[in-house]
Amino acid sequence: MNDENFMREALRIARNAEGRTSPNPLVGAVVVKDGKIIAEGWHRQAGTPHAEIHALNMAGELAKGATLYVTLEPCSHFGRTPPCVNRIIESGIKRVVAAMKDPNPKVAGRGFEILKNAGVEVEVGLLEAEARRLNEVFLKFITEKLPFVTLKFASSLDGKIATYSGESQWISCEESRKFVHHLRDINDVILVGIGTVLADNPSLTTRLVEGKNPIRVIVDSNARTPLDSKVMADKSARTIIAVTKNAPSEKISALKACGVEILICGEEKRVDLKILLEKLAKREITSILVEGGGQIHFSMLKSGLVDKIYAFIAPKIIGGKNSLTAVEGIGFEKLSEAITLKKFTSERIGEDFLLSGYVKEDFNWK
């Protein structure tokens, strides 16, 4: 095996903790000696040992003179855990191959500098594009102080997400719905508008074995969320309701009494979505899955807040000018204003097609 193969293994094992390390990045580490992997490790959860520490603990004395492959620059500061660079130097590692520099200002090349000054060979940039894709959520959060936003919808061939009577279960196939629960599992937050709550009364939880329920965020300008709705009654996940300053105080008090958190986001008729995202970021929320209706989808897109889109297209035609569509609102006036996905891909999932891509050109947050 060569350097690239060892780094691909580090990238692969880093995904073992997908959705579990927020607000930290996904990191994998592989220790190689005499051309063979002798130890591996990955970061499992914020506040626990980093990938390098797990790998070095496994390697023990064999780490002396070995090469460490790591998907992100080793940390050089005291956070919830001690600096990894100190342990790497103490272990006797001879060479460190890293996929990319850590954009966190607390690190940002300092880890490499400390290693070099201690006589450790350092190489940076191997499979950097793949490493950036792996940590697109962390990279946006650490550089822009905003969560990474993924918008998901399931529609018919003619773009409908429900019939004219409002029936929507189920447009997509079982395999697609299972993938959606995977998306919920790996995101910190699932966000919908009040229209979805009133129309469907969803639980917004993850139906996967050992799945993680995301925090539920309801965009509800006037605090209309019913007190007996599932997002209020089901305590298996936190619920946050975003309202405006004009929302009736008695309704806010009633919602708070049910144990939900209220965020006041703006003084106009509608919730200011940028303010909402800023407030969520301050709570160390790094990723959001938007699963609302056409209005909230358009509002998020029009505000430039969406980073990535997953569109599940079922081989069905629903029709009807009054049937609900995936993106509503006023729409874009000119075709030149229409959003064109970058790095666009398509794949078959069961009976459906999954189309995905990035809204912004700089999807790797370089």
pLDDT, one tens digit per residue, over 212-237 is 999 999 999 999 999 999 999 888 89
List residues bridging with 28 in a β-sheet: 42
How many Å separate Cα 30 from the centre of its chain? 25
Residue 104, classified by CB atoms within 10 Å of its CB into exposed (0-12), middle (13-18) or buried (19+), is buried
Q: What is the pLDDT of residue 194?
A: 93
How far, CA to CA in Å, does 175 sit from each of 163, 210, 292?
Answer: 22, 18, 20
Asked if the model's pLDDT at residue 295 lies above 50, the reply is yes
Q: What is the DSSP letter of 342?
A: E
| pLDDT score of 298 more than 80 | yes
Give, to the nearest 10 degrees, the angle between helix 110-117 and helix 84-91: 20
Burial class for 196, CB neighbours closer than 10 Å (0-12, 13-18, 19+): buried
Q: List the catalytic residue out of 52, 73, 136, 291.
A: 52
pLDDT (mean) for 99-104: 92
From edge to edge, which strands make up the β-sheet containing 239-243?
261-264, 239-243, 215-219, 189-193, 287-290, 148-155, 308-313, 352-358, 342-349
- How would you class 200 by CB atoms within 10 Å of its CB: exposed for 0-12, middle for 13-18, buried for 19 or more? middle
Q: Which two tokens stand for residue 252?
A: 């806010």
- Mean pLDDT in the chain? 92
* 4 carries an active-site annotation: no
* The Cα angle at residue 61 between residues 116 and 118, in degrees rounded to 5: 15
According to the model, what pLDDT value does residue 163 have?
86
